[in-house]
């Protein structure tokens, strides 16, 4: 009962901020339309991501589930072999293995991109090569030549 006013205020605050962001985007589109151009490779990136997920998700989860079903990593006393509880737990762990693989891959690729020579965003305090990272050197954006 006491949480409902807080929830109502949070929802109202969220909608207000969404409305403000929409206003900022519209203002940016009017002042700097070149900043709001979409990526020309958007469809290619989306298609490849979908294809990779389609090809890898089921296989990875199936292999991981099979591994956890037969391994002793799951305690046999709590999850007996050939039980529904063990199958359910193994499937859950298989899903988590896939999520972990995706997360590690994405973080690794982002770190690789950030450590390139032409990137000026990686500060030395977090493993980069720039003593003074320039986050907004082309604010709000550069015009495309």
Q: Which of 145, 143, 118 lies closest to 129 in space, CA to CA?
A: 118
In angstroms, rounded to a whole number, what is the distance separating the alpha carbons of residues 1 and 3? 5
**Count of Cβ atoms closer than 10 Å to residue 50 Cβ:** 10
| pTM exceeds cut of 0.75 | no
In angstroms, rounded to a whole number, what is the distance separating the alpha carbons of residues 35 and 18? 20
Alpha helix stretches (DSSP H) within the chain: 3-31, 42-70, 84-114
Tell me the domain boundaries of the chain: 1-31, 40-114, 119-145
List per-residue pLDDT tens for the chain, 145 residues long: 778 999 999 999 999 999 999 998 898 888 878 777 888 899 999 999 999 999 999 999 999 999 999 988 989 899 999 899 999 999 999 999 999 999 999 999 988 888 888 777 788 888 877 787 766 666 666 655 5
């Amino acid at each position: 009962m006491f949480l409902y006013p807080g929830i109502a205020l949070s929802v109202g605050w969220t909608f207000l901020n969404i409305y403000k962001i929409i206003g900022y985007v519209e203002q940016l589109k009017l002042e700097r339309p070149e900043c709001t151009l979409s990526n020309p490779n958007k469809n290619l990136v989306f298609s490849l991501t979908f294809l990779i997920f389609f090809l890898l998700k089921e296989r990875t989860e199936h292999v991981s589930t099979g591994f956890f079903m037969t391994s002793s990593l799951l305690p046999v006393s709590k999850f007996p072999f050939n039980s529904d509880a063990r199958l359910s737990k193994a499937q859950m762990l298989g899903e988590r293995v896939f999520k972990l693989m995706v997360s590690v891959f994405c973080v690794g690729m982002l770190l690789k991109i950030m450590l390139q020579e032409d990137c000026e965003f990686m500060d030395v305090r977090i493993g980069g090569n720039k003593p003074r990272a320039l986050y907004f050197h082309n604010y709000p954006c550069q015009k495309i030549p």
